[in-house]
Amino acid sequence: MKQLLKTLTDTFSPSGYEDEIRKVILKEVKPLADEVRVDALGNLIARKKPAKGTKDAKKIMIAAHMDEIGVMVTHVDGNGFVRFTNIGGVYPRNLPGGHVRFANGVSGVIGLEPTTSATDVPPLNKMFIDVGADSKKNCPVKTGDVGSFERTFIDLGDKLVAKSMDDRIGCLVAIEALRALKSTPHDVYFVFTTQEEVGTRGAETSAYGIDPDLGFSIDVTGWGDTPGQKDFDVALGKGPAIKIRDGGMLADPRVVQWMVRTAEKAKVPYQREVLLGGTTDARAMQLVRGGVPVGCISIPCRYVHTPSEMVDYNDVKNAVKLIGVMLSNPVNLQLIVTL
């Protein structure tokens, strides 16, 4: 799995430009799925049909987003310095001295205009990308070109570091869960979604098309186990986190109970997650058509939305195991209604 993760995280695919990562994932899932298709927004949908003879199979959607944060050129000045804006949640304090690679292979380094204090972090419009050009005419990138952040994949044993762990680690878990799923009583749709970082757009359109009975996303979450981190009870290495709420979604309690019961019965370590900010594809899935019961399985990740996101390999393996057990057995979410 580590080699596949390296390939996934190394692949260039900011939001809206997911062609390359879709090719990589398609190669992995095509031999494993019963049906594979790509919809109008570029979502890759891999279907695993229920076992023969199954009655009343539930349609379950699992979403992991393919896209990553990045930058887009707004203009090039007369001296060849590239001005840019963000694609997704790009935080200025993480950028100075960082490397960017554009779709055409050109690389550059992020510089800052002078500030009044060495500790000041200027906004994006006071930053630039130096690609080695000395004029607008010989600059190898142009307005509208898209770039992603560059960083070498690092294997620290149990800890793995790369850019775009958010959410290539979710894609890896989904691929490996599909690989392990030999038979299921459900009609399962593994959806590798587009444009999550700019508004969970791919999950919304794909969920509308699939019309699932229930579903969940696989994404990263924050961390609470480094110096100074407070009020977030999630740590690397203690198992995947079962989301109860985040900044955009309340997970369906029945889905949470399904995940918790399955983890405990299978003796898979897990954590309970309450995230105060941010959200995932599950929010978009929850709100389509007449509504969908949803949840989320989160991979604890340090330094989210930096070029050096860190996960624990054991959490990844346990997430694969948990999802495999969940999808291999029947599920019945009883809705209690009092009139």
Q: CA 297 to CA 327: how far, in whole Å?
A: 13
State the distance between the two ends of the chain, measured CA to CA, in whole angstroms: 50
Report H helices in the chain. Answer: 2-10, 19-29, 165-180, 201-210, 253-266, 281-286, 313-328
Sheet holding 214-221, edge to edge: 35-38, 44-48, 187-193, 59-65, 214-221, 294-300, 241-245, 271-274
Contact 190, 320 (CB under 8 A): no
Is residue 264 part of the annotated active site? The answer reads: no
Which of 28, 68, 176, 196 is catalytic? The answer is: 196
Contact 217, 227 (CB under 8 A): no
State the DSSP string of 70-139: EEEEEEE-TTSPEEEEEESS--GGG-TT-EEEETTS-EEEEEE---SSTT----GGGEEEE-S-SSSTT-
HSE on the CB side for 95, CA within 13 Å?
30
Active site members: 196
